[in-house]
Amino acid sequence: MNRFLQIVCSAVFTTIAIGILSLSGCAHTMLATGWSNDTGISEIFDTTERISHAAGLSTLSMADDLPNDTERRVGQLRIHSDFPLAGQHRLIRELDNMRATISQELDLPVSDEPIHLYLFENPADYQAFVQRHFPRFPGRRACFIETDTTLAIFAPWQERIAEDLRHETTHGYLHAVVPGIPLWLDEGLAEFFEVPQPADGFHRGHADHLTGRLLEGTWQPRIERLEELEDAAAMSQDHYAEAWCWAHWLLRTTPQRRQVIEGYLHDLRRDPVTVPLSARLRELEGPPSVTTQAVRHHLESL
């Protein structure tokens, strides 16, 4: 057994032993090759084999393993589950409402592009599905996958499902209108919107984590480090927390900073190759050391 297989297998047994709740948050990937269309799950996954060669996915057919007992259409969402799930479930309404919230918060248009949510009642079934079809994914509680034509989320129905689906659905809404959004900002905004609405984007866990790191003297905000990230699997808790912190600072401090992030997202919609946010902030705020200080102060004030 090679090392990769060992890791995967031990992850399976660990998961069964200590439960899926111990797995960390989001797994997120983009597949470069196109699925032929997005009119239905069977058609989407008929092309699994073609994708697999480019993306390292399994060559097994996915359609048989997908939850398909019920399907609900709610706004942009197409919710497929292997258990009865009322269309008016409070969480489903909340996820639907997030489309307008995100659009208003970031001054982005809304899209009608379907976002497919595949919900597994049994966490072990979800784990088996991910192991079978996305063997190179890190073990995470939920996955978001984007191809040229499809936005899809996979998640088990467990204790933290609300937080996980708010996070992954944010990816879906963002990618429907800003497909070229950089990884760090995508994750920072998903962390911002994953908290329940009354928290207004404030993520207590991340704030406490970063405050602790500041006190230890082991961390400083630096946006350029985030901008270098290209692989979601390489993102640590520090990265997720810092990405959230920058998003919160941009959206919850001054109108000028809000305009910078809105302008950046607008430009990304037209062309993913545009002036990075760090350069835009240098124009607005001055040298990086000034911005770092401002973000530190913001964190300390929370």
C-beta of 107: minimal distance to Zn ion in Å? Answer: 22
C-beta of 157: minimal distance to Zn ion in Å? Answer: 18
Q: Which is nearer to Zn ion, 146 or 187 (CB)?
A: 187
φ/ψ bin of 231: left (φ > 0), alpha (ψ from -120 to 50), beta (otherwise): beta
Q: What are the residues binding Zn ion (CB under 5 A)?
A: 26, 28, 187, 190
Q: Which is nearer to Zn ion, 9 or 233 (CB)?
A: 233
C-beta of 294: minimal distance to Zn ion in Å? Answer: 26
The β-bridge relationship of strands 115-120 and 77-81 is: parallel
C-beta of 241: minimal distance to Zn ion in Å? Answer: 13
C-beta of 235: minimal distance to Zn ion in Å? Answer: 8
φ/ψ bin of 275: left (φ > 0), alpha (ψ from -120 to 50), beta (otherwise): beta
Total length of the chain: 302
Q: Which is nearer to Zn ion, 173 or 280 (CB)?
A: 173
* ∠ Cα 76 71 160 (to 5°): 75
* C-alpha–C-alpha distance, residues 166 and 98, integer Å: 8
C-beta of 229: minimal distance to Zn ion in Å? Answer: 12
Q: Which is nearer to Zn ion, 190 or 294 (CB)?
A: 190
* C-alpha–C-alpha distance, residues 278 and 281, integer Å: 5
Q: Which is nearer to Zn ion, 187 or 285 (CB)?
A: 187
Q: Which is nearer to Zn ion, 26 or 268 (CB)?
A: 26
Work out the number of other CB atoms within 10 angstroms of the CB of residue 115.
Answer: 26
The residue sitting closest to Zn ion, measured at its beta carbon, is 26
Q: Which is nearer to Zn ion, 28 or 239 (CB)?
A: 28
* C-alpha–C-alpha distance, residues 164 and 258, integer Å: 26
C-beta of 177: minimal distance to Zn ion in Å? Answer: 17
Q: Which is nearer to Zn ion, 150 or 291 (CB)?
A: 150
C-beta of 95: minimal distance to Zn ion in Å? Answer: 15
